[in-house]
Chains A and B, each alone.
Chain A
Amino acid sequence: METPRDTSAPPSDPQPSKGSQSAAPNLAGSSPQRGGSSLSDSGRTGRRGDAIFKFASSGSGVALLVIMAAIAAFLTVRAVSAISADHGNFLTTSDWQTQADPITFGIAAIALGTLISAVVAMVIAVPVALGIALFISHYAPRRIAQALGYVVDLLAAVPSIVFGLWGALFLVPHMIGVNAWLNQYFGWTYIFHQNEPGTQPRSLFTVGIVLAIMILPIITAVSREIFLQVPRAHEEAALALGATRWEMIRTAVIPFGRSGIISASMLGLGRALGETMAVATVLSPSYVINLHILDPAGSTIAQTIANQFGESQGTGRDALIAAGLVLFVITLLVNGAARLIIARRKEYSGADA
């Protein structure tokens, strides 16, 4: 990925463009085209290109909205039919018995498990990702930075099932010692207490670690790009005032990139919330509310859907779709919250312009 410092020219620059269309529609008429062609002539072709481009881009936008609305409508219709057949409270029941009689299911345990695993992943991944991004953008020699950036991007291309298999076959056996240590010294925190010490650590904590590795490349790549865009003048000003490199990063780079960091984290969080195969491979799911994150218990929404879809029919399948709707809503809320935070910081950092 090339550095974004060589960004496109400011809008006022009358850059001669070869084609008839220009990225900014209101500028189309002002750019002289094909050498000596008259203004009115270029205006006509510009307008045609304009129309095409406008149609294509607004068409894409509308198509996306239509697709999202269709997904939401589909999920809602199926979810409503499932929830009306539910004999438990959909929001507070933790069990998931869609094939028993009476049908009882609820999202309490799976929604909680989804959030726990995502939070664990974020707690681990965000600091590490920011460290990597800062190293690439401000500390590493240019050649190493490029290679490292490439490797991090490569990590994003590894299929999730591979992370899952790695987690199940390698990480889980190696987590036994870590879990025992955490249980012994941090068991008093309640969350690191193990109900049955010595069980296989196919737990939400291990899942969180696998998810952390999976979301690392997204957060790193996005925040690296943000850090590279910090105006050099800000950095040089900070250095000129006698700041050390760390102080320069703290006072110039991080504040500038804060909203970008939040966006990057939200992208990572979105992936962590929705991750399916890696979780299904690593976790030993159960439908109980258990805040001891080292116990092989708990489950996530996406993993539940993946595990049960093949053998479920009718209401059972609709119930899974209802769970999917909940995940949809959670993701929406998370994204909305992120946008709110970014909007509040907009005037300071200049992001979201």
Chain B
Amino acid sequence: MKLQRNGRTKALAIGALAVVSSLTLAACGSDNNSNSSASSSPAAGGSSAAASSIACSGASGQLLGAGSTAQANAVTQWVKDFQAACSGVTVNYQATGSGAGITSFQSGKVAFAGSDAAMKPADVAKTEGTACKSGGKGINIPMIGGPIAIGYNLPGVSNLVLDAPTLAQIFTGKIAKWDDAAIKKLNPTATLPSLPIQTFHRSDGSGTTANFTAYLAAAAPTDYTLQPNKLWAAKGGQAANGSAGLAAQVKQVQGSISYFELSYATQQNITTAQIATGASAPVAVSTDAASKAIADAKVTGTAPDLTLDLTSAYTTKADGAYPIDLVTYEIACDKGNAPATLPTLKAFLNYISSTQGQTSVASLGYFPLPASLQAQVKTTINGLS
């Protein structure tokens, strides 16, 4: 009996150890996960800003931010330059995902949140009185744009042209083979193999998915009838975790197609599709082409909120304008920001929205906001209190 008892204790100890270690590991794992897109693409490469021209006006101490992974690479670069210019200031941005960032902001844990989509009215209401004192509320400030590339892996086909209805049918499973008539019609000269199309979408919630599905819903309303959503809603297809995961699958699997930020396509040499928008020629993905499409996006928020409506970008027919884009926002309080961090917050946002800040991240696959919008952003930031 005694023998057995000892064995059980030992078994329990081993079990407890296993449970504890798996918990710890799970914690490490998820941490790793949320930072994956931040760490997988080197944040170096942005121009090192001339430190002298960054206005530090009153910035001091620590500024906390959290949110979108899509802008993480840009923020990393901005933080590096800003900290180099303003001594004694630390900006800590945690790329936890837009949703988690907004939640942290609402509870007042961070001074600003990064988000791939404008905060909804219900979420704005939750900022009143908690994160934002003295009658203030959270506002959306558009900050930087990025094109979403359509990457594919089809040996022998390098200049694939697709349009919104075809993309919608591919990603909803209505077009199943690469030599489908609809694709042939767009690519009369290409020799399309009779391979099954393997579509890949994000398995995690993502602003990239939200913007891509918003594009499909706006530009191909009859073929994509689902709501734009952070979680992939269409049936069928395969999934992978993060943009890096999608890019890896496309690289590996013949006949695959997926969507991810441009930087992932350029880093891994993945062929990207050109989009036929109704312009005189199909448009290839680039930051310039994307910024052209964003140029006439309308501000739908009431000042100082600057929520953008990208429908005009999604449905653009302008020559050389690439329609599948996302704009990421910073979220702060219009009034009632924490007094201790307000000067730092304003200085940081002022820097990143300046021409210098905006162009410093161009090499990372981001594009600057159009000049007219930049001016509005400036006014909003200066009005923060």
Residues of A within 8 A of B (CB): 1, 4-5, 7-8, 10-11, 96-101, 156-157, 159-161, 164, 173, 196, 198-200, 202, 218, 221-222, 225-226, 229, 231, 260, 263-264, 267, 270-271, 274-277, 280-281, 283-286, 288, 296, 306-314, 316-317, 349-353
Cα distance A299–B42 in the bound complex, in angstroms: 31
Set of chain B residues within 8 Å of A4, measured between Cβ atoms:
3, 6-7, 10
Q: Are A284 and B29 in contact (CB under 8 A)?
A: no
Given contacts A161-B25, A314-B122, 17 further A-B contacts (CB under 8 A): A11-B2, A96-B231, A100-B233, A156-B18, A218-B15, A226-B7, A263-B11, A274-B22, A277-B26, A277-B29, A277-B33, A280-B33, A307-B204, A311-B98, A316-B99, A353-B4, A353-B5
Say yes or no for B196: interface residue by CB 8 A criterion. Answer: yes
Q: Are A229 and B4 in contact (CB under 8 A)?
A: yes
Say yes or no for B239: interface residue by CB 8 A criterion. Answer: yes
Closest to B237 in A: A286
Q: Are A160 and B15 in contact (CB under 8 A)?
A: no
Q: Are A317 and B99 in contact (CB under 8 A)?
A: yes
Say yes or no for B247: interface residue by CB 8 A criterion. Answer: no
Which residue of A199, A202, A271, A312 is within 8 Å of B22 (Cβ)? A271
Instruction: Identify the interface centre among B4, B26, B98: most chain A CB within 10 Å of its CB.
Output: B4
Cα distance A253–B5 in the bound complex, in angstroms: 17
Say yes or no for B83: interface residue by CB 8 A criterion. Answer: no
Q: Are A310 and B97 in contact (CB under 8 A)?
A: yes
Set of chain B residues within 8 Å of A264, measured between Cβ atoms:
11
Interface string of B330-361 (1 = CB under 8 A from A): 00000000000000000000000000000000
Q: Are B32 and A161 in contact (CB under 8 A)?
A: yes
Q: Are A97 and B26 in contact (CB under 8 A)?
A: no
Cα distance A199–B196 in the bound complex, in angstroms: 10
Q: How far is the CB of A316 from chain B (nearest CB, A)?
A: 7
Cα distance A284–B239 in the bound complex, in angstroms: 5
What 7 A-B pairs come out closest when comparing CB atoms?
Answer: A310-B97, A311-B205, A277-B29, A284-B238, A307-B204, A311-B99, A313-B99
Q: Are B30 and A309 in contact (CB under 8 A)?
A: yes
Q: Are B207 and A311 in contact (CB under 8 A)?
A: yes
Set of chain A residues within 8 Å of B32, measured between Cβ atoms:
161, 277
Set of chain B residues within 8 Å of A276, measured between Cβ atoms:
26, 29-30
Cα distance A260–B25 in the bound complex, in angstroms: 26
Set of chain B residues within 8 Å of A274, measured between Cβ atoms:
22, 26
Q: Are B100 and A200 in contact (CB under 8 A)?
A: no
Interface string of B127-163 (1 = CB under 8 A from A): 0000000000000000000000000000000000000
User: A306-B33, A310-B34 known; A7 and B6 CB under 8 Å?
Assistant: yes
User: A4-B6, A307-B203 known; A270 and B253 CB under 8 Å?
Assistant: no
Interface string of B229-241 (1 = CB under 8 A from A): 1110101111111
User: A225-B7, A271-B18 known; A311 and B233 CB under 8 Å?
Assistant: no
Set of chain B residues within 8 Å of A5, measured between Cβ atoms:
3
Q: How far is the CB of A179 from chain B (nearest CB, A)?
A: 14
Cα distance A271–B23 in the bound complex, in angstroms: 10
User: A99-B229, A198-B196 known; A160 and B22 CB under 8 Å?
Assistant: yes
User: A99-B205, A277-B29 known; A199 and B238 CB under 8 Å?
Assistant: yes
- 19 intermolecular pairs with C-beta atoms under 8 Å apart: A4-B10, A7-B6, A8-B6, A98-B231, A196-B196, A260-B8, A277-B25, A286-B236, A306-B29, A307-B204, A307-B241, A309-B97, A311-B98, A311-B231, A313-B100, A317-B103, A351-B4, A351-B8, A353-B1
Q: How far is the CB of B220 from chain A (nearest CB, A)?
A: 18
Closest to B7 in A: A229
Set of chain A residues within 8 Å of B14, measured between Cβ atoms:
218, 221-222, 225, 267
Closest to A257 in B: B7
Set of chain B residues within 8 Å of A157, measured between Cβ atoms:
21
Set of chain B residues within 8 Å of A221, measured between Cβ atoms:
14
Cα distance A306–B241 in the bound complex, in angstroms: 10
Q: Are B231 and A350 in contact (CB under 8 A)?
A: no
Set of chain B residues within 8 Å of A222, measured between Cβ atoms:
11, 14-15
Set of chain B residues within 8 Å of A1, measured between Cβ atoms:
10
Q: Are B100 and A310 in contact (CB under 8 A)?
A: yes
Say yes or no for B227: interface residue by CB 8 A criterion. Answer: yes
Set of chain A residues within 8 Å of B200, measured between Cβ atoms:
284
Q: Are A225 and B204 in contact (CB under 8 A)?
A: no
Instruction: Identify the interface centre among B1, B10, B249: most chain A CB within 10 Å of its CB.
Output: B10
Closest to A352 in B: B8
User: A280-B203, A296-B238, A312-B205 known; A270 and B25 CB under 8 Å?
Assistant: no
Say yes or no for B198: interface residue by CB 8 A criterion. Answer: yes
